[in-house]
Structure 1
Amino acid sequence: MGNLLSDWCAFCKGESGFDKSHFLGLLKAHNSNEDLRTIFGYFPFAENLMGRAASVIESARSEGSLYLLPKIEADQYTLVRLGGEWLKTQEKICEALGVSEITEICRSAEVLFVDQQRLESALEQNIPHYWLFDEVGDAIRASKISDSDQIYALFESLYGLAADYYLAWYIAQPLFAFDIDLESYYRFWRAGGKCALTENGFLVST
């Protein structure tokens, strides 16, 4: 058993204390089925969590990157279709949160395939993409099944897989009560998709 996994077990048993950032690389270093079973075994819904994490890890690669990247880069038509499904999910999320302004933006947005430069330029602006992210993050944090240090550390390690909060939330979904289905985001990410919700459209790229 590697040192980081040993630290995790001691931390979850209350035998040692660590800052949650200590476990940022836990799932990148220990992602065999046996390790995942150990890591998630300290939480409810362990099999569900393990299955989600294993699915993400199996659909990704890590060569040449600090974080997991999708193995597949789908064609633009596939990305537009999957991006549209994720956009509809975001509209439902906005309705559940009661944020009418962003709901209307989602409802009227056209899905547009753009090059990486245009996407990155949009993401440098203060756009609805970030407004919705903040709303979702607040709702999830407020509805976690526990505020224990172990839950916080687990969320940190899930973020550490791909530096992607939505993907982390997809895996951790059994651990919070906010009714959100992030399966469409996972399918979009798995196809190599990146996106930006702007006031003038929903931009997708690779």
Structure 2
Amino acid sequence: MVPRPHNHGAGHSCEGDHDHHDTPEMGLQYSLYSKIDKDNLECLNESTEGSGKLVFKPWEERLNFGTYVESDADEELLFNIPFTGNIKLKGIVLIGSEDDSHPAKMRLFKNRPHMTFDDVTVPADQEFEMQPDINGSLEYSTKVVTFNNVHHLSIHIPSNFGSDQTRIYYIGLRGEFFESHHHGVTICTYEAKPNMSDHKNPLSDTVSHGIQ
């Protein structure tokens, strides 16, 4: 049996992570992949262009090992994931290979579009020390208060278990989706320079305009 994740020290939260069983409801719970703006999804350091998008797929296809993303120059991967609305992220499942190419750490950043590897030096909103998972039995629970109202999620994979390259077959996102509502700024109009004729004081005919 795949070992349960556990807390590995300060700053690396795995609290609430748990094994779960495959049920028909799982496909609905992990449906946020369909709310990703895949045309604008970026995966940095992928060995094959466009392969990073392929790991965000239906729960029922999570064990399809014919599609995957593999890192190129080193073991790092960075996903920039825009959504078509706002999400409340509750948990992540990641399926890797059973060898040393499986990710060993995962770092999450909220609402920081177009991150690069230079940007990941800042503290992450949440980090996880990972355990090998080849069938999607482990969920890494996020801090829901932090990952509420998310329109962009960045996932940084800084290391694996010793391989030169990192390989990922599936990333599942569990949570809630909310449509974005864009309202034009039509409620209030501010004048840069008041037009005095539009603000005529009805007492101006009888009251002096200055004090000598």
Q: TM-score, structure 1 length as denominator?
A: 0.29
Q: Bigger radius of gyration, 1 or 2? A: 2
* Structure (1 or 2) with the greater strand fraction: 2
* Structure (1 or 2) with the greater helix fraction: 1
